Chains A and B, each alone.
Chain A
Amino acid sequence: SAVISQKPSRDICQRGTSLTIQCQVDSQVTMMFWYRQQPGQSLTLIATANQGSEATYESGFVIDKFPISRPNLTFSTLTVSNMSPEDSSIYLCSVQKPGNTIYFGEGSWLTVV
């Protein structure tokens, strides 16, 4: 079974709306990471989500646009707020397991129209 379950897998969203992506892990992990992959591009880290504290955002990403929740050690959500066509991307969560192997969810493919 998958280490990470991520949903939705795909969605088509209207401009100006917000969408929340969920990431469920099969065991407790300290850190969860959210990435964006724009069409034809590589992955860029959005933020690191630590349970019990605010997420740490990378340069170019802000909490108002990408609010993150981390209510427990197996779950996190990323919201893409006030979407525009430029937000059309794949959004992926990842976790690091003992042994340093990092696992990714299948990704959430968002198209903003």
Chain B
Amino acid sequence: SQQGEEDPQALSIQEGENATMNCSYKTSINNLQWYRQNSGRGLVHLILIRSNEREKHSGRLRVTLDTSKKSSSLLITASRAADTASYFCATDARGSQGNLIFGKGTKLSVKP
């Protein structure tokens, strides 16, 4: 069964606002990754956060990880219309060798 659960399932905001997406998982992990998928396109890797890290930044992206709560959040600051996409978290469970378990995803719509 899928391990990650994202919320919200869908999020609609105005350009310039911040978007926060959350992800929960069930088992111990090596790391957690966030991906973006534009409509009709493949997956784009955004950021990886290891189990011993609590926060990571990449440009307008900020990811947090709370292993005690088995949860992560992705914050996109100053959103743009081009950020419109589906966002997935994926966990690389301990003992795995690169296979990921994906959450259901959050569909983000940024209105100009």
- Is B88 a contact of A102 with CB atoms below 8 Å? no
Closest Cβ of chain A to B10, distance in Å, is: 11
Q: Does A61 contact B (CB under 8 A)?
A: no
Q: A42-B102, A45-B99 are known contacts. Are A102 and B41 too (CB-CB below 8 A)?
A: no
- Is B98 a contact of A33 with CB atoms below 8 Å? yes
Interface range, B side: 20 to 34
Interface of A is mostly: strand
Interface of B is mostly: strand
**CB interface residues, B 79-112, toward A, < 8 Å:** 88, 90, 92, 97-105
Closest Cβ of chain B to A10, distance in Å, is: 10
Q: Does A106 contact B (CB under 8 A)?
A: yes
Closest Cβ of chain A to B85, distance in Å, is: 14
Please encode chain B, from 1 to 41, with 1 for each CB lying within 8 Å of some chain A CB and 0 for all others.
01000000000000000000000000000110101000011
Number of A-B residue pairs, CB cutoff 8 Å, is 61
Q: Which residues of A contact B33 (CB under 8 A)?
A: 101-102
Task: Report which of B40, B41, B48, B102 forms a contact with A43, defined as CB distance below 8 A.
Answer: B102
Q: Which residues of A contact B35 (CB under 8 A)?
A: 104
Residue of A nearest to B92 (CB): A100
Roughly how many angstroms separate A102 CA and B99 CA in the complex, as a whole number? Answer: 9
Q: Does A76 contact B (CB under 8 A)?
A: no
Roughly how many angstroms separate A95 CA and B45 CA in the complex, as a whole number? Answer: 12
Roughly how many angstroms separate A101 CA and B104 CA in the complex, as a whole number? Answer: 20
Closest Cβ of chain B to A27, distance in Å, is: 14
What would be 24 A-B contacts, judged by CB atoms less than 8 Å apart?
A: A30-B97, A31-B98, A31-B99, A33-B98, A42-B105, A43-B43, A43-B88, A43-B90, A44-B2, A44-B102, A45-B99, A45-B101, A92-B43, A94-B98, A94-B100, A96-B97, A100-B30, A100-B92, A101-B33, A101-B45, A101-B48, A102-B92, A102-B98, A104-B45
